[in-house]
Structure 1
Amino acid sequence: MMSPLDAINAEPPNVWITYFDGFDPSTWGFVGFDTDGKRKSFLRRSQAGVLVVIAGSPQAKPEEKHQIIGVLQCSHEIGVDRDYMPSAAFADKESNPRSRGSWANAVRVVRAWEVSEDSRMHIRDFASETYKGTNGQHIGSQGTPLSIYEAKRLLAMNLREIEVFNCPPIGETNFAPAEDVLRPSRPGPTSQSPTEHREAEGPCHVYVLALSGKPGIFLNDPSARGKIVKAGFSKAPEDRREAHNRHIPVGPFQWNVLKSTEAEGRIAFPGSIQGKAAEAAMIAVLDRDGRSLGREFFLAEDGVIEEAWKTAIEAGEKT
């Protein structure tokens, strides 16, 4: 699947624009079309990983109308609207006369970013070549691809990644320049979210957590192969496993320590400098040869995981 930055820099860009009444991918994890024909046209003219820029529709909140409020990354997985919404959100959709029965031909969203209020742009300024004022209904009903100049305007915005329905949790994030935020995954400070706990500086171990259960079911993607993994470093990898499992219900999907320098009997790295170097090297391989699921999470085959692990050890030992 094409990465966000590759989508922007492609010729032509793999970037589209459409209207939404609001922006909440945690309850609306899809881009919907009124007809299967419109959906097929979108899929035929885009590639998996396509970015869809969201402008506030005339029905959006006053401060969001015609403003660029978010960005979605779509797979080419298709379904119906209720497949990608919590049951309560679907009930709300069907109880609203405006949305009842509409936009049911769904394309799944896998990542999402909201635009900071201070960097929002009016659609006529952002999509100055595509938006003509008279084609707003067309843009809203089936979307329109952007020119390379328009797509690159995303890089001037401040974004922050937010959660998408039925995708791995990402925790707390901050607004930052789009070029940094849109990178597939990146190592960060030891604690970035409520599910992570800041640890004292000192010796640390590199680890890979693997999620049990079938990845195709967890990701709602029958084509998914390999393991869902998380790369990281910690004073105690087993504690990280427990911390992640506390935030998901008991069931077929549980985190396990797949690899750790501690389990292999290796001496701990002296501190976070070495831990971050090892984590960054591991993420680089997983990003290149696997599928990014946001932040330190990836879908990867066993061979890719092995290569990433060896690269991480070498990087940590050389730092």
Structure 2
Amino acid sequence: MTTSETDFWTDETSVLFTSFWGWTPETWGTVGWSGDRGKTRRANLLKGLTDPFITVCYVTSNKTYIDPKLKGMIAGFMLVTHETGDRDEFTHPIHHARDPDQWRHSLRAVRAFSYLPEYRLRAQDVFPELSRTARHVSAMGEVIADSAVINLLRQTPWIEVAAYSPAIMDVSNANEEVTAGGAVRPGPDNEGGYSVPPRFGKLARDLYVLKLEGNTNAYLGRSAEGRAIYKIGLSASPDMRRQLFQKSMPRGAFQWVTVRTSSGSGFSAFNCFADAVAAESIIKKQLVECAEWLGGEFYLANEDDIETAWHAAHASVHIGGGKV
């Protein structure tokens, strides 16, 4: 089966709405039903759903390991096939011991997509009747027939993310192109680390600064002299970038936090990609002079260094209109 960004969700594609306890398609590549009633529901749905079909998911859980910002939000959607199987065939082993009687009657998801955090929809706003139908949506799933709702879900900015498959291996690119002195060249007009569909290519970009919270001395294996580790970049979704960096690290005492974004710091996001690149280049050049480059877009810096470079970057570029 071959699908592309332009044809996998057409006007003819069936759309199912359901809830998950969390949103981790990289380890949970399935939608499933529980018990004999659930098995019957799956069989009946397959008679009327296209193959593949879209499953739109919102998050309901209050569990401590779930991002609280996802609670009640439509987190993303999956492209689901009619391939049936047991839940554990389509999920990472970390899930196999949890709730062993739940969602055994499953279908395989082959692709997954997350809505950008800055554009996520509140489930109750899209489905006002959810207060009385939530139990059915959670247990059985609800087929969406309203074309206006489908178009809203399809047009809300999303990115493709990993969908669990036991055959997929994690391969990283170790090659890194840098300029003299650690001023890393800006990337191409994309989000880096994930794919943005062409239809969302005109989204405004934010310059952002992430900070690694934790014992910096321990992380470096030497004294940080009161400085912290920062990541500089630009993105249509800084929070998605933060999440991706966090997921790349083992769980532990170190956490990436967003300390600055253009739109969150009294500036406007960059509607022109060239302006965003110019501002990013300025902040990096400033940090090369006053901070310690740690490779890539990472710097060991004081808060004052970041503040000075941040304002220099925005003062030197007229947002939306090129350099002053």
Which protein shows a greater Rg?
Answer: 2
TM-score by length of 1: 0.48
TM-score by length of 2: 0.48
